[in-house]
Amino acid sequence: SLVAADVAHSMHPYTNMRAHEANGPMIITRGEGVHVYDDKGKEYIEGMAGLWSVAVGFSETRLKDAAMKQMEALPYYHTFAHKAHEPSIRLAEKLAEMTPEGLDRCFFTNSGSEANDTVIKMVWYMNNALGRPEKKKFIARNKAYHGITIASGSLTGLPGNHRDFDLPAIPVTHVTTPHYWRFAEEGESEADFCARLLKEIEDTILAEGPETVAAFIGEPVMGAGGVMVPPEGYWEGVAAICKKHDILLVADEVICGFGRCGATFACEKFGFTPDILVLSKQISSSYMPLAAIMVTDAVYDAIADNSAKIGTFGHGFTGSGHPVATAVGLENLKIIEEKGLVANAAALEEAFIGGLHAAFDDHPLVGEVRGTGLIAGIELVAAKTAASAFDPAAKVGAKCADFAAEEGLISRAVGDVMALCPPLIITEAQINQIIERMGRALDRTL
Ligand code: PLP
């Protein structure tokens, strides 16, 4: 059977492999709008849009048609050494048009992890080119998620991604997670908390030596670490510190980009413009693997000058700008625009985030409901306070996710945070179904 074959031969990412041998896989066979179906025909609302990624839902025929058309015309070609093809050119042009002013140069990779590795290498290459080879360190945050390769996994600030993998393996300092409810000191206001974190960032830069710090990287709203929305003024403050010390600001919008937070890009919502913007997931609704890095002219020019001096920018992937992936990406962005999905995310924020607050703020298992646009986290604790976390060994979040699946809702437990991140095509009625099903799962977890 499929189950036996999976248990016998597959190594699943992000899985307790011994538990998998005992429990077997959940096999998903098809999708329809915001729903997916398993091999027994059970229907689920995909409350995580896959992995925070399927903006247009699971049955968009225009993306299938775009892929087929490109498969027929030119299924593969690369973009090394001056080679080009129309889909990657058009998508780069489209991204330059959509992204904030000044981010006009695009480099494609296959995944978010490769994109962040590429960012590190671009930043190092740039600073070598500018004659400041000592300016190489990164600043990231605890609980950040920037990927899992050696370098991007080093930027990630989650112990499970470091432990027993010998990471971090590049020079990176992790600073405090901008999450007021969990990390504020007793009696500290949100404004004071924000000021303390900004001071920590500047103190870190000064302690390391600004001449050695190359870049600050962050997700505008932290996703895989447990959906954390920063305090007001945080990003404006980070941007000002970076500017003062000549440090590049990298916004990792692999999850946030293309409407997730109710604005086309979350940096626009939070009032800053990065020097480098990292995009993936909703760029193609993950129908094809694709990521993009957008950079300013200043970054581009330093890299371009050096490539002229050395004779090449010695970096890139066989799949960089893959024609089928970029054709699908371009069509996907057109659908997001034509269907007004960014506006849909903004319009449904009240029904979704407000609805989750109304339903669960008083629930005995819930410490905090948080989120923005169409991304939310519900943090489960024993006694309503941040200090009353459950013993991780009790796996309360994982149990709740299992109950939710039984109730017909796919969510994701990040430790004891229940993450929700539905497709951007969702309706208010479907949001209400998510809230009802999560409510039943929480009651069963009690
Ligand atoms: N950056 C962020 C913010 C992410 O959420 C992720 C994946 O969840 C990544 C990077 C890594 O992307 P990938 O899994 O495509 O390597």
| Gap from CA of 158 to ligand 1 centroid (Å) | 13
CA distance 32 to 218: 33
| Gap from CA of 439 to ligand 1 centroid (Å) | 29
Are 97 and 172 in the same domain? yes
* 308 contacts: CB under 8 Å, gap ≥ 6: none
Are 134 and 274 in the same domain? yes
| Gap from CA of 280 to ligand 1 centroid (Å) | 8
Percentages helix, strand, coil for the chain (3-state, rounded to 5) are: 45, 15, 40
Ligand 1 neighbourhood includes 445 CB (under 6 angstroms): no
CA distance 9 to 29: 19
Are 321 and 351 in the same domain? no
In a domain, 17, yes or no: no
Are 290 and 377 in the same domain? no
| Gap from CA of 322 to ligand 1 centroid (Å) | 19
Place of tokens 């500018």: 130
* β-sheet bridge partners, residue 35: 32, 45
pLDDT at 2: 96
Are 241 and 384 in the same domain? no
Instruction: Quote the number of domains for the chain.
Output: 2
Are 298 and 423 in the same domain? no
- Of the candidates 190, 179, 228, which has an alpha carbon nearest to the alpha carbon of residue 376? 228
In a domain, 327, yes or no: yes
CA distance 300 to 245: 20
Ligand 1 neighbourhood includes 288 CB (under 6 angstroms): no
pLDDT at 32: 98
Ligand 1 neighbourhood includes 284 CB (under 6 angstroms): no
CATH of the domain at 233: 3.40.640.10
Are 381 and 367 in the same domain? yes
Ligand 1 neighbourhood includes 220 CB (under 6 angstroms): no
The pLDDT tens digits of the residues spanning 381-434 come to 999 999 999 999 999 999 999 999 999 999 999 999 999 999 999 999 999 999
pLDDT at 371: 98
pLDDT at 27: 98
Domain C-terminal end among 321, 338, 355: 338
pLDDT at 340: 98
Q: To the nearest whole number, what is the mean pLDDT of the chain? A: 98
* 51 contacts: CB under 8 Å, gap ≥ 6: 281, 286
Residue of the CA atom closest to atom 10 of ligand 1:
146
Can you list the pairs that 386-394 forms with residues at least 24 positions away whose Cβ atoms lie under 8 Å? 386/181, 386/182, 389/416, 390/416, 392/416
pLDDT at 372: 98
Ligand 1 neighbourhood includes 226 CB (under 6 angstroms): no
> Is 305:281 a contact under the CB 8 Å cutoff?
no
Are 74 and 110 in the same domain? yes
| Minimum-distance ligand 1 atom for the alpha carbon of 223 | 5
Residue of the CA atom closest to atom 3 of ligand 1:
254
- The DSSP-derived string for 336-377 is HHHTTHHHHHHHTHIIIIIHHHHHHTT-TTEEEEEEETTEEE
Mean pLDDT by 10 residues, the chain (446 residues): 97 96 97 98 98 98 98 98 97 98 98 98 97 98 98 98 98 98 97 98 98 99 98 98 98 98 98 98 98 98 95 97 99 98 98 98 98 98 97 97 98 98 98 98 97
Are 362 and 310 in the same domain? no
**Coil/strand/helix, residue 418:** strand
| Minimum-distance ligand 1 atom for the alpha carbon of 144 | 3
CATH of the domain at 433: 3.90.1150.10
Are 68 and 155 in the same domain? yes
- Percentage of the chain beyond pLDDT 90 is 100
Question: Which range marks the domain in which residue 380 is found?
Answer: 33-56+342-445
Domain C-terminal end among 338, 364, 391: 338
- Of the candidates 273, 102, 34, 15, which has an alpha carbon nearest to the alpha carbon of residue 26? 15
| Minimum-distance ligand 1 atom for the alpha carbon of 111 | 15
In a domain, 20, yes or no: no
In a domain, 427, yes or no: yes
In a domain, 19, yes or no: no
- The DSSP-derived string for 37-84 is EETT--EEEETTHHHHT-TT-S--HHHHHHHHHHHHH-S----STT--
pLDDT at 415: 96
How many CB atoms are located within 10 Å of the residue 185 CB?
A: 8
| Gap from CA of 155 to ligand 1 centroid (Å) | 11
CA distance 237 to 102: 20
In a domain, 4, yes or no: no
| Minimum-distance ligand 1 atom for the alpha carbon of 281 | 15
Are 237 and 137 in the same domain? yes
Ligand 1 neighbourhood includes 149 CB (under 6 angstroms): no
Ligand 1 neighbourhood includes 281 CB (under 6 angstroms): no
Ligand 1 neighbourhood includes 319 CB (under 6 angstroms): no
Q: What does the block give as tokens for 97?
A: 């048009």
pLDDT at 351: 98
Are 298 and 371 in the same domain? no
In a domain, 320, yes or no: yes
| Gap from CA of 341 to ligand 1 centroid (Å) | 22
| Minimum-distance ligand 1 atom for the alpha carbon of 112 | 12
The pLDDT tens digits of the residues spanning 135-189 come to 999 999 999 999 999 999 999 999 999 999 999 999 999 999 999 999 999 999 9
| Gap from CA of 334 to ligand 1 centroid (Å) | 23
Domain C-terminal end among 308, 338, 368: 338
In a domain, 22, yes or no: no
